[in-house]
Amino acid sequence: MPDQITSRKNEMIKQAARLCTSAEARREQGLFLVEGARLCRDAAKSGVRVETLFYTAQAKEKYEEYIAAVAVSAQAVYEIAPHVAALLSETKTSQGVFCVCKMSGEARTLEDIHPGRHYLALENIQDPANLGAVLRTAEALGIGGVILGGNCCDVYSPKVLRASMGAVFRLPFFLAPDMPSAVKLLRQKKFVCLAAVPDAAAQKVTAVDFQNPTVLLVGNEGNGLTGETIEACSGRVTIPMLGRAESLNASASAAILMWEMMRKESGGVSVGRQ
């Protein structure tokens, strides 16, 4: 029988609650909070180090199989009261299952990037739901990894974790605070870097063959890519649209672009310069 926590003032609970609400606390401690039975199990099965598992008695009855899969590798396990669980939850209908996990070592930089794969780069993405959805799609399509450039939202925020459906635990991501400089480095590594823009004069993404290792760049939800980043790229691509909409949601754009990039066969032509 695990130890029980019934006070919201418990120090471990207060620390876990801070991880839920503060990106600074997550960075300082190298820890993040995962909520939900399935997501906690995905973290454990993906090889993420689970420091602490919390669950309510009601959750144990309903999600016993999921909890058991996490408990076997968790460093510590606690049963918590429902009112304590409410302090940790960001959802309206909490499942009552949480785990504190350790971030995976040092953040990857572009020096670690594999030269033979296709990648997606995101610049200044601010909506956690958008970022999570992009990561989920990138993993599903087999993208080599995602580059987070400029001022992107925290990849370990609860909303990103939920929207990614566990992709954060498995998909390589790389940090690039200065995206124009990152593009220059990627081009030195022989990547074709293509800026996605809502411009009919740009090359249609459906006409690109993607024979060479490529990085597709998608920008901020409202402003797109910065001018400096676009200028640094090998070329520009756009999604052809027949309707009256001028642009697409960032996650929808990224999904279409990645699908085109990852298709096994394409009848397009090469685009861009090294």
What CATH number corresponds to the domain at position 202?
Answer: 3.40.1280.10
Q: What pLDDT does residue 156 have? A: 94
Decide if 215 contacts 241 (C-beta within 8 A): no
Decide if 5 contacts 78 (C-beta within 8 A): yes
Q: Is the same domain home to 202 and 184?
A: yes
Q: What pLDDT does residue 239 have? A: 87
Distance, in Å, from the CA atom of 274 to the CA atom of 164, rounded to the nearest integer, reads 32
What rounded mean pLDDT belongs to the chain?
Answer: 90
Give a yes or no: residue 270 inside a domain.
no
**pLDDT tens digits for range 162-200:** 999 999 999 998 999 899 999 999 999 999 999 999 888
Domain boundary among 80, 102, 124: 102
**pLDDT tens digits for range 88-117:** 998 888 999 999 999 976 567 888 888 889
This prediction's pTM: 0.88
Q: What pLDDT does residue 200 have? A: 83
Q: Is the same domain home to 156 and 258?
A: yes
Q: How many CB atoms lie within 10 A of CB 267?
A: 7
Q: What pLDDT does residue 110 have? A: 87
Domain boundary among 102, 123, 151: 102
**pLDDT tens digits for range 239-271:** 887 665 556 678 889 999 999 999 853 444 444
Which pairs with CB-CB distance under 8 Å and at least 24 residues apart come from 1-4? 1/79, 2/77, 2/78, 2/79, 3/78, 3/79, 4/78, 4/79, 4/80, 4/81
36 sits in the region (left: phi over 0; alpha: psi -120 to 50; else beta) called left
Q: Which two tokens stand for residue 206?
A: 């459906």
Give a yes or no: residue 274 inside a domain.
no
Q: Is the same domain home to 72 and 194?
A: no
Q: What pLDDT does residue 221 have? A: 81
Q: What pLDDT does residue 236 have? A: 96
Count of domains forming the chain: 2
Distance, in Å, from the CA atom of 133 to the CA atom of 259, rounded to the nearest integer, reads 14
